[in-house]
Amino acid sequence: MAPRTSRSIRARVTATAVLIVAVVLGIAGFATSQILSSTLHDQVASALGQDLENLGDQVEDNPGILDSYDEGILVRLDGAKTTFNDDEAADLPQVKTPTRVMVDGEPYLADSQKTDAGRLTVARSLGEAEEAVATTRMLLAIGIPLVVLLIFAVVWIVTGRALAPVEKLRRQVDAIGPTDLAQRVNAGADELGALAATMNHMLGRLEQAQKTQNQFVSDASHELRSPLATMRQHAELASRHPEATSLATLSDTVLQEGARMQQLVEGLLLLAKLDEGQRYAVELLDVDDLLFGQAQRLRRMGLTVDSSAVHPARITGNAQLLTTVVRNLADNAARHAHGVVALSLEAGQDGGITLSVDDDGSGVPQEQRQAVFERFTRLDESRARDSGGSGLGLAIVKQVVQSYGGQISVGDSSLGGARFTLWLPGS
């Protein structure tokens, strides 16, 4: 059975077409009958006027002409005496203008005028004219509904055939389940084919989004399972073999893995807020102060940090988000650097900024420079989880930068490692 929407469209199109045709034919039929009636009436009136003029001249010269006058009309003369050419003419009323009158049950058009012989009244039959009009109206009254019914049938069949591919397309799409997004609908070369192609593109995006979501859930579960497993192992060891571990060791492990879980959860929450397009309060920030603060933190970690290329630059933004961006870039550089990190900052003439973070590590292979900004991406899968980060830092950087309309890229550094460069436009 066709869905209600399809029937509704079909019914609406058919009803609209039938209504338009019915209105047009009704108006045309009414106009036709009126024009025909007016035309025939005018013809009778014209002939009547001619008869009245001719007879007016004749009866002035010969009033007795009416006794033998038979031209298919009724004539009555009211003078010294009343004379008429037919018994039916005796009932003709005197009128001042052309008037429809009934004589012996038959319609006539009558008119009068004064003559020297008296008042002359002439009438011509309207029977044939009115019969022609009535016949025409009867034919229109029968023909118009038949034409409307024919139009209804044609439009109903045509729209049904036109909507059949839509219904077929609907069934194909309806048959695609949430676990079978790899299927595609058949696309033709017409407008419906373009719609089908659009649906296929949408299905492709949904399939990719589902894969990304499933991968995201899998990665997040794996990332959370690792610190939980570590804490559980140390807790079980302390419970079964108290002499094998100390409370301080257990506390350090729980705090370290708990901090890692907190970092992961906070990163996921931040990405969720960014995905939703949540708005943050903004203020004018000194980006160079943010970089100098990260430089001091990295130096306390034992790294050599070159911040000589950091120049004063200010930009309007959210302090928390931009601090997170700078910190994540610094942490990424510290995690992969052999010992040296370089920071640079330039203010653009348009009010924007260009920020770069270099390290002397192993760099990022060309084929992985796009994937490095994806969530839970690590270039070295064999490294220990505690030194590899959460896998969300650069994804957060990319999301924040894009929310500000900026750009982030990675290339080769003159130090031998990687250079991460971001550009943010002015407000």
Does a structural domain hold residue 179?
no
387 and 313 in a common domain: yes
Residue 260, domain CATH: 1.10.287.130
Does a structural domain hold residue 175?
no
294 and 263 in a common domain: no
**Boundary residue ending a domain (271, 293, 323):** 271
pLDDT in tens, 187-211: 667 777 788 888 888 888 888 878 7
Does a structural domain hold residue 164?
no
Q: Which helix (H) or strand (E) holds 250?
A: helix 247-275
Nearest to 99 by CA among 45, 35, 56: 45
Measured CA to CA, the distance from residue 378 to residue 386 in angstroms comes to: 12
Neighbours of 227 (CB within 10 A): 22
257 and 234 in a common domain: yes
Q: How many CA atoms lie within 13 A of 18 on its CB side?
A: 19
State the burial class of residue 209 (Cβ atoms within 10 Å of its Cβ: 0-12, 13-18, 19+). exposed
Residue 70, domain CATH: 3.30.450
Burial 54-66 (b: 16+ CB within 10 A, else e): ebbebbeeebebb
295 and 414 in a common domain: yes
Residues in the chain with pLDDT < 50? Answer: 1-3, 6, 381-386
pLDDT at 250: 76
The answer to whether the CB of 315 falls within 8 A of the CB of 383 is no
308 and 234 in a common domain: no
Does a structural domain hold residue 191?
no
Residue 385, domain CATH: 3.30.565.10
287 and 264 in a common domain: no
pLDDT at 380: 55
43 and 104 in a common domain: yes
pLDDT in tens, 329-368: 999 999 999 999 999 999 988 889 999 999 999 999 999 9
217 and 244 in a common domain: yes
128 and 14 in a common domain: yes
Does a structural domain hold residue 174?
no
Domain that holds residue 99: 4-148
Domain count, the chain: 3
Does a structural domain hold residue 166?
no
3-state secondary structure of 51: helix
Does a structural domain hold residue 18?
yes
8 and 121 in a common domain: yes
**Boundary residue ending a domain (108, 126, 148):** 148
Does a structural domain hold residue 313?
yes
58 and 92 in a common domain: yes
